[in-house]
Each structure stands twice: as structure tokens, then as C-alpha cells.
Amino acid sequence: MLRVYHYEFCLELAVLPADVKGLPTTKVLPHERPPRMLYMPGTLAQIRSFHLSQGETGRPNLCKIFFPSLEAIYNFWEQYKQTFENVLAAGAVVVEKSDHILFIWRRGKWDLPKGKVEQHETPEETARRELAEETGISCAYPERLLTRTYHTYTEGEKQFLKEVRWFLFRCSETKPHVQVQKEEGIEGYRWVQASEVPFLYPQSYGTIRDVIEYVVKDVLSAPSA
């Protein structure tokens, strides 16, 4: 499965479930969030036009496009990426001693520290630098790569596709002091328990929700070694 957002609209690429016979026009399946699945046949240009037009409405929604295999998803994705200007960025998910996650409040949304990868940097170095610049927290190098998110945006007449590589940082202190970088539009911060996370979702981005859900499920809920 691969998700790419255009503002609040999510285009999800998935392999057709084995228990679904044929490709449905619309079909609701259990345990899906949100509970809408849509197969939309069309050319690469038609899918791209649909994706961008739906994102411009500002309404949260999800469209699932089914493929027969992971290889088919990969082939489509490689072609799709080439229709945008590509940007590589890196971000930091900070988990402190008592398993609180650090969020920053930026431009009316709960966000995570992140920024564009400079030419002389690796993504890991970018995540560490952005964390220090935006929050004042200086950690060692990240523990590991968590996941990647993708979103598109428009500037003037150009469309960009941004890939963000998210890294896990462990902090040995309990809720260390944070000094936010106001020059970057950051107005505040909050250390959040896993149980509090869903309450932040209405004021966050789809990509951030996906990252944090991954952290809650595969990092905080994982058994200790």
C-alpha cells in the first residue's frame, strides 16, 4: 500500500484483496479508515487530474486504486512521480523517556519537525538538524528510519511531489524543555501520550496522522526486546 496526499485528499494505491472478485466501482469493506473504496480506471493523466482536482476542494477524502500486484503499483508510481517536480525532505519523531511524542504547533496545525534535504546532507543529518533548529532538542543520530510519506502541492504553475523520510529519535529525559523556532512559524509545542493522539488529528495533516499511527502501533506498542 502506498498513499500520496494532495492537501486533505488521499490517493491510495493497493493490491486488490484476494477475497474481492473483480474490480468494484464502489465497495465498502470492514476495518477501513475512511470506509470508502473506489476503483477508478483511467490513464495516468486522468488519474493525476482527478487526484489534484479533488485535493483542491479542501474536503478530506480517500480514493483507493487497485492493482493486480505490488510490481504493478511500483511501475505506476515510478511513472506518476515523473509528472511532478520532486522534493526530498526528512523529519523527526521524538519519543521521550515516558513515551510521550513531541508535536509542534505550526500555521494552525499540529506538525512534526521536518525540512528539505540540502545537497551536502543525508536525510538522517537533515532530520537531526531540523529537530535542533525547530525545537532546540539536540539528540544523537536517529535510532532508525520509520516510514516515508508523500504529498503534492502547487506553487504558481508548478506541481511538486514531496517525499519525507521520518526518523525515530529517543530522548532519555522526561519532557525536556523545547525552544521553538518562531521564525519558521512555530508557535508552540506539546508532549502527547499515545492515548491523546486521536484528539489532535482534526488539526493535523494526513501524512502526520499516518506517521504517528505507525509509531503508536509499531514502536510504542511493540514488545520490549
Q: What is the pLDDT of residue 18?
A: 79
Average pLDDT over the chain, rounded to an integer = 87
| pLDDT tens for each residue of 171-191 | 988 998 899 998 888 999 999
Q: What is the pLDDT of residue 123?
A: 97
Query: Which residue type occupies 223?
Result: P
180 φ, ψ to 5°?
-75, 150
| pLDDT tens for each residue of 124-164 | 999 999 999 999 998 778 999 999 999 999 998 899 999 99
Torsion of CA 154, 160, 165, 166, to 10 degrees: 0
Q: Cell digits for 20? A: 474481492
pTM value is 0.88
Q: What is the pLDDT of residue 202?
A: 87
Residue 24's beta-bridge partner residues?
A: none
Across the range 164-169, mean pLDDT stands at 97
Q: Is the omega angle on the peptide bond into residue 198 within 30 degrees of 0, that is, cis?
A: no
Q: What is the pLDDT of residue 141?
A: 81
Q: What is the pLDDT of residue 54?
A: 86
Q: Which SS3 state, helix, strand or coil, does residue 132 take?
A: helix
Q: What is the pLDDT of residue 222?
A: 63
Are 135 and 179 within 8 A, CB to CB?
yes
Q: Is the omega angle on the peptide bond into residue 34 within 30 degrees of 0, that is, cis?
A: yes
Q: What is the pLDDT of residue 46?
A: 86
Which residue intervals of the chain are DSSP H helices? 44-55, 70-81, 123-135, 206-215
| pLDDT tens for each residue of 15-57 | 887 776 665 544 444 444 444 445 555 788 888 998 999 888 8
CA dist., res. 189 & res. 203, Å (int): 13
Domains and CATH numbers, the chain: 2-81 (no CATH), 86-220 (3.90.79.10)
Percentage of the chain with pLDDT > 90?
59
